[in-house]
Structure 1
């Protein structure tokens, strides 16, 4: 069960805030002024955060390609991903 209002992605604002705070604490993000809202700050990646994403991205692409191959190709990979997405949405509604 969500700990507050749910966003369109099925994630509560509090959950997003907690993750953002953890990223800031780890030096992977920082809060910047939000021109649209005086009190709310916008999280933005730091150079260390961007470097972490650059290290992760090639590995994710390779893993996705290998998984797709093991599942029988891109169409089957997409079908499984869509099914998992629907499962996640159904679990959110429970």
Structure 2
């Protein structure tokens, strides 16, 4: 069984309370900006997957987002998000 007590995060912080706070900030920013984020997700059957999402809302510990992998709106549990990071968009030109 996968031990979810220690989750890595984009910032590399190991303290769970700080990670939860940072994840909440990232998710709220994602709702406001509409930017894409990459997550590593652990499902109920302990399968790990990598997803690209656009967050629509956060209610309690439920994250509603469009999942580009599944091509539909999905609900993710925050405690099953192992890692989250923004997708950087690079500008080319002068």
Length-normalised TM-score, structure 2:
0.28
Compare the two structures and name the one with the higher helix fraction: 1
Of structures 1 and 2, the one with the larger relative CO (CA 8 A, separation 6+) is 2
Larger Rg: 1
Compare the two structures and name the one with the higher strand fraction: 2
